[in-house]
Amino acid sequence: MKFREIEENYILFMKSVRKNTIIVPTFDIDLMWHTHMRYPLNYLQFSEQLCGFLLNHDDSITPQVLNNAYKDTAERWKTAYQSEYGHNVDRACFRNSMNSIHCTITHDAIVKKQSSHESYTGCGGFWSSESEVGNSNSCGSSCGSSCG
């Protein structure tokens, strides 16, 4: 799996978050998630934009709860993205889930703000390719009814 595909899966995973529901990442998504949390301000901003709240990451759940939650996560993933959990999502599905004017405005504002500080570009430090700045299809922030 390419880094870009892992990145896209991480964003789609975060979009599927619901309050008061356990969601279980795949290994690749979990690695990306842990890496992202190493930049707390960046992660806070990304999480709040995507879901409207700071998403906590708790590794201390029992194996039975973990297994049941993983199955639920996989079912929700398959319904939302028409692919098996842990596999690549069709790029058209990814782009369609990201289309929104609000998303583009939010993304552009973050890129301009962060670029002026020579920091990360894009939402949550992702989508940093300069050729994608301002491209609504490259936005990693949420827009839509997936979170909340």
* Tens-place pLDDT, residues 105-148: 333 334 334 444 433 333 333 333 333 333 333 333 333 333 33
Q: What's the pLDDT at 92?
A: 54
Domain that holds residue 73: 3-128
Residue 42: inside a domain: yes
Residue 34: is its pLDDT beyond 60? Answer: yes
Q: Would the pTM count as exceeding 0.75?
A: no
Our measurement of the distance from residue 40's CA atom to the centroid of its chain's CA atoms, rounded to an integer in Å, reads: 15
How large a percentage of the chain has pLDDT more than 90? Answer: 39
139, part of any domain: no
Name which of 16, 11, 3, 2 is nearest 94 in CA terms.
11
DSSP state of 130: G
- Look at residue 144 and tell me if it is in a domain: no
Reply yes or no on whether the pLDDT at 104 is more than 60. Answer: no
- How many independent structural domains does the chain possess? 1
The verdict on residue 120 lying in a domain is: yes
